[in-house]
């Protein structure tokens, strides 16, 4: 197990290195000069050159890249051009908000998708199945930027139950988490239904029922466990999508997360901050995928740590 983990961690290094390199090159290739954006057009050219030197943007791009890479192992991601604050501090301030939102929305998705998916599978072709199918299709069809304001209209404006925007672990979290989790819940519902149906058709389930095991136990203890392996894999893969989707949700609900920070950093051509945000998102995505693999192996002992 330890060897497996070490191996997997080592294999993630090229992925992270690749992401860092591509983002570094892309952000530097984008038109737009951070110095011009910071100082404006009224600044004297000498002042702009001075700031360019101060920010070390006058050096060849390869030298800048080398400095950036050298700083990563020390946890030095540079200093934000726009705020003058260390990038790591800027990100650390926003990370809790983003992860609170992501974790809650994934929990919402799982809590909704598991019972609905199982219900749709065991009542295949019945009303519950059709209803869950229609619900899933509707949820997948409504984009977050529309769903968010619609939920606000209903639950905040019409019913006055929840705040329109803001940050917090209680009431302010409900609408952003539901907005972000709805699409994923729909996807997972259909996936649970499909994989469970496939398992239910297998002989071991028929044999278990023939031996006298109640149908519910056969589904819950045997078929569902096996059906969950691809679902957990999809859940891990969709973590990246949740982080990407959080950009829109954070903007709608004024949620102070890393998504909004990244957008502001791109607008300001704040190179260190963009690179830092992407690096952190990449690291977390890799970590979640690793955790997913381990969980899958736990769920299905036939999957070996290799």
Partner 1 sequence: MDLTTGLRRFLAPAPSFTGGRAANRTRRALIAVLPVFLAAVPWGCAQKLPIDEGRMVIALPGAPVNVDPRVATDAYGEQVLQMTHASLVGRDAAGEMIPDLAERWESPDPLTYVFRLRPGLRFHDGRPLTSADARFTFAWILDAANRSPHRGLYRNVAAIETPDPRTVVFRLTEPFAPFLSTMVRGIVPAGSRARGYAPPAGAGPYRLDDLSPDGEAVLSAFDGYYGGPPAIREVTVKFIPDSNVRFLELRMGSVNFVLNGVDPDLLPAAEEAGRLVVGEGPGGNVTYLGFNLRDRALSDARVRRAIAMAIDREAIVRTIWKGRADLVTSILPPGSWAADPDLPATLFDPARARRLLDEAGFPDPDGEGPLPRLRLTYKTSQNEVRRRVATVIQDQLRRVGVSVEIQSLEWGTFFSDIKRGSFQIYSLTWVGIADPDIFHLAFHSRSVPPDGANRGGYSDAELDRLTDAARRESSREKRRAMYRRVQRILARDLPVVPLWAGRNVLVRDRRLAGFLLTPDESYSSVRGMRIVSLPPTPSIGGRR
Q: Which of 38, 95, 213, 234 binds partner 1 (CB under 8 A)?
A: 38
Q: Which of 21, 22, 26, 47 binds partner 1 (CB under 8 A)?
A: 47
User: ∠ CA(136), CA(123), CA(199), 5° rounding?
Assistant: 90
Q: Rule CB under 8 A: say whether 85 interacts with partner 1.
A: yes
Q: Which of 12, 50, 88, 95 binds partner 1 (CB under 8 A)?
A: 50
Closest separation between CB of residue 134 and partner 1, Å? 15
Residue pair 225/190 in contact by the 8 Å Cβ criterion? no
Separation between Cα atoms, residue 281 and residue 283, nearest integer Å = 5
Question: Which stretch in 8-16, 200-208, 251-259, 290-298 sits in contact with partner 1 by CB under 8 A?
Answer: 251-259
Residues 259-288 that bind partner 1 (CB under 8 A): 260-261, 264, 266-269
Enumerate helices (H) and strands (E) in the chain, giving the number of each: 13, 0
Q: Rule CB under 8 A: say whether 142 interacts with partner 1.
A: no
Q: What are the CA-CA distances from residue 103 to residues 78, 96, 239, 260, 299 (Å)?
A: 28, 10, 9, 17, 21
Q: Kindly compute the dihedral angle of the four CA atoms of residues 65, 67, 73, 76, in this order, to the nearest 10 degrees.
A: -110
Q: Which of 253, 279, 280, 289 binds partner 1 (CB under 8 A)?
A: 253
Closer to partner 1 by Cβ: residue 149 or 230: 149
Residue ranges in 79-213 assigned as alpha helix (H): 87-122, 127-141, 144-151, 171-200, 203-210
Query: Which residue ranges make up the site for partner 1 (CB under 8 A)?
Result: 30-33, 36-45, 47-48, 50-51, 54, 82-85, 90, 93-94, 108, 111-112, 146, 149, 152-167, 170-171, 174, 178, 251-254, 256-257, 260-261, 264, 266-269
């Amino acid at each position: 197990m330890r060897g497996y983990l070490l191996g997997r961690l080592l294999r993630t290094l090229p992925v992270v290195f690749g992401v860092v390199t591509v983002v570094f090159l892309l952000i530097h290739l984008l038109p737009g000069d951070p110095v011009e954006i910071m100082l404006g057009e009224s600044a004297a050219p000498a002042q702009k050159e001075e700031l360019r030197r101060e920010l070390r943007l006058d050096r060849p791009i390869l030298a800048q890249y080398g400095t950036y890479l050298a700083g990563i192992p020390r946890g030095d991601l540079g200093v934000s051009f726009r705020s003058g604050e260390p990038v790591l501090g800027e990100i650390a301030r926003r990370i809790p908000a983003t992860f609170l939102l992501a974790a809650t929305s994934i929990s919402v998705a799982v809590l909704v998708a598991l019972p609905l998916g199982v219900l749709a599978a065991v009542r295949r072709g019945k009303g519950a199945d059709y209803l869950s199918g229609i619900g899933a299709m509707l949820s997948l069809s409504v984009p977050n930027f529309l769903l968010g304001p619609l939920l606000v209209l209903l639950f905040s404006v019409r019913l006055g139950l929840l705040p329109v925007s803001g940050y917090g672990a209680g009431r302010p979290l409900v609408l952003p988490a539901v907005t972000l989790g709805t699409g994923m819940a729909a996807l997972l519902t259909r996936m649970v239904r499909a994989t469970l149906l496939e398992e239910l058709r297998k002989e071991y389930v028929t044999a278990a029922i023939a031996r006298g095991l109640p149908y519910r136990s056969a589904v819950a203890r045997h078929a569902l466990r096996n059906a969950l392996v691809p679902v957990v894999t999809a859940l891990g893969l969709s973590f990246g999508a949740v982080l990407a989707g959080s950009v829109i949700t954070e903007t709608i609900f004024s949620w102070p997360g890393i998504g909004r920070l990244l957008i502001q950093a791109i607008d300001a051509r704040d190179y260190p901050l963009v690179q830092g945000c992407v690096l952190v998102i990449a690291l977390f995505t890799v970590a979640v995928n690793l955790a997913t693999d381990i969980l899958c192996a736990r769920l299905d002992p036939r999957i070996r740590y290799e």
